[in-house]
Amino acid sequence: MDLGHRDARVIVTGGAANIGRGIVHGFAREGARVLIADLDAKQAEAVAAEARDLGAAAAEVVAADLTEPAAGAEVARRAIEAWGGIDVLVNNAGWSQPGFFAEQTDRALWQRTIEVNLYSAFGCTQAVLGPMREAGRGAIVFISSDSAFGAIRQGIYGSTKAGLIAIARTIAREHGRHGIRSNVIAPGLVIPDEGTEVGPHSVWAAGPDAIFTAEQTEYVLKQQALRRLTTAADIANAVLWISSQNAARQVTGQVVAVGGGSAMP
């Protein structure tokens, strides 16, 4: 089936590594035009080059701290300046530091988690709604997490990811009349492919063991129905489907868990 993404104008936040990189690659293979908004300019440029090699009609980079007040507007402006509009926004930018809830008492950690995971999505979403309303169509995808439904060592992070679900459903109800669809993909644990660059700003910069040790990963897999790791490509395939006007034109306000059955919302 033709998903209709050829020449689509797509923004992927946090597109320089892991899940975001996989999403960029997915749209590139469909022939879309992709703007990568990421704090790590060098890594984002490397992913943009990969996207062009994979068949992207165009690939651009905006190096930005998306927690800054004007960053979302600048990202949207750059996409409109380059391509005249925005068809898809993927709010993927995120940050986490696993830890037991009773021990994560550092308010600076709370603030950073909230700003990266929620403020960046607030700003970018508000910035694209006007252009999408004018066009009478658009798709917004929020990358949440199965930790949004409750997970050990993910209390602060999971709370922000649950917040994304509320935002997505609010957008769906408020803007469906304008032809804008808003949905959520909730990944399970996705570990970067061995040997791939993630850049110094990634939560994975210190290596997978800094986030999930082999023993912790095994524990996660034991709770999952399919008993296999989720990949960035798995998430990308779900994003491509749910953002497609051809394949998912009547789907909005929904949460799709892509984690092998680790969560079943």
Domain ranges for the chain, please list them: 9-258
pTM of the model: 0.95
Looking at domain 9-258, what is its CATH homologous superfamily? NAD(P)-binding Rossmann-like Domain (3.40.50.720)
One digit per residue, pLDDT tens: the chain, 265 residues? Answer: 899 999 999 999 999 999 999 999 999 999 999 999 999 999 999 999 999 999 999 999 999 999 999 999 999 999 999 999 999 999 999 999 999 999 999 999 999 999 999 999 999 999 999 999 999 999 999 999 999 999 999 999 999 999 999 999 999 999 999 999 999 999 999 988 766 766 676 776 666 766 778 888 888 888 899 999 999 999 999 999 999 999 999 999 999 999 999 999 8
Q: Which of 176, 8, 191 is nearest to 90 (CA)?
A: 8
157 is catalytic: yes
Residue by residue, DSSP assigns 27-73 as HHHTT-EEEEEES-HHHHHHHHHHHHHHT-SEEEEEE--TTSTTHHH
119, 142, 149, 157: which one is catalytic? 157
